Amino acid sequence: MSRPRVLVTGFEPFGGHSTNISSLLAEQFVGLQELHHPWDGIPFEVNFTFDILSVDRPGSVRTAHRIQTGESWDAILHLGLCEQCSLPRIERRAQDLLRMRIPDNAGRQIVNEVLTGDGDRGCWIDPSIWPRKAFPLPFEISIDAGAYLCNETYYRTLEALISSPHHNRALPNPALFLHLPSEESIDLSVAREFVETTVAFMLHPTPLQPVDVVAGCLLNIEGEHMLARRSAGQDQHGTWEFPGGKIETDESWRNALIREFEEELSLRVRPFHPLGTWAHNRNDVSLMIHLIACELTSPSATPVLHVHDRCIWKRGGEGDELEWTGRDGEMDAHLAHSD
């Protein structure tokens, strides 16, 4: 079996700092290194490559451009300095926003501008299920990567990955952004161990065999998303969910979402990109529920219910009285931060 290839990036110093913990760490990840499987402890080798990004627009799109020209890795971990953090922060979301409180190293300072207008993007692994005791120190899981170069870099990488060819995979290989406190707040050896553990989980993100599932975040012109209630005779009947289902063998996430909406609701949708992923174990598999932003190809189309008995439109975080399917309630609450 070939060794997994992992890219770790850091940033050059910025904002008056003489060093940047992210580059100090990234430079340590080069060549073959031994990690331990996060679920069973078995050692395995990883072939690391590092890159130090400039703190300007060319640096923010450097990894994305490498992806677009055909380079690939089994995982990409971006590291960045979080000046106000006392603990590491694993970022789940990249915002479609630039709000630069200070100029970058090229003198660029953009305030309150969208990056693309396509909306926020989420990663397609779920760090919330990773046991905290596996890491060398406590950490936070965040959906706010800031609105500076870290966020811009993360956004561009996720955008490039999801648009790149990923044959024989339901979704591309994963990317995450890890914010780290400064060297004054965290020992470099502990930070290195944290990075190693994060990479090990990225390569083995679930304790059981993963099964990829798509769920559609279908928005109307009012910015509300559709939910459907499972009908009698269905598993977990009476619970509310984002429509979708399992990605079949050799099926892309886009085609799976199109097929599921046609089968369940007789609706034709246009998929955009993942908003986030929620995993939960069921029987002998780990279901990876990928929430996908989408829209109707015909805005006037109305649903025909085949496996549901009711559908509604709502905003994220509203409707606490609903009984949810699986972790769909968490997915709904997540959207409250994007509505």
Total domains in the fold of the chain: 2
Whether 272 and 198 map to the same domain: the answer is no
Residue 301 belongs to domain with CATH number:
3.90.79.10
Q: Higher model confidence: residue 205 or residue 339?
A: 205
Whether 157 and 260 map to the same domain: the answer is no
Whether 195 and 245 map to the same domain: the answer is no
Q: What is the pLDDT of residue 107?
A: 96
Whether 188 and 235 map to the same domain: the answer is no
pLDDT digits (tens, 9 = 90+) for 277-306: 999 998 899 999 999 999 999 989 999 999
* Percent of the chain surpassing pLDDT 90: 90
- In which domain, by residue range, is 163 found? 5-203
Whether 183 and 85 map to the same domain: the answer is yes
Whether 165 and 265 map to the same domain: the answer is no
Whether 145 and 248 map to the same domain: the answer is no
Q: Is pLDDT of 62 > 60?
A: yes
Last residue of a domain, one of 184, 203, 222: 203
Contact (CB, 8 A) for 213 and 241:
no
Average model confidence (pLDDT) across the chain = 95
Q: Is pLDDT of 128 > 60?
A: yes
pTM: 0.96
SS (H, E, C) 131-169: CHHHCCCCCEEECCCCCCHHHHHHHHHHHHHHHCCCCCC
pLDDT digits (tens, 9 = 90+) for 14-30: 998 899 999 999 999 99
Whether 44 and 180 map to the same domain: the answer is yes
Whether 72 and 195 map to the same domain: the answer is yes
Q: What is the pLDDT of residue 68?
A: 97
Whether 13 and 102 map to the same domain: the answer is yes
pLDDT band at 319 (very low <50, low <70, confident <90, very high): low
Whether 89 and 132 map to the same domain: the answer is yes
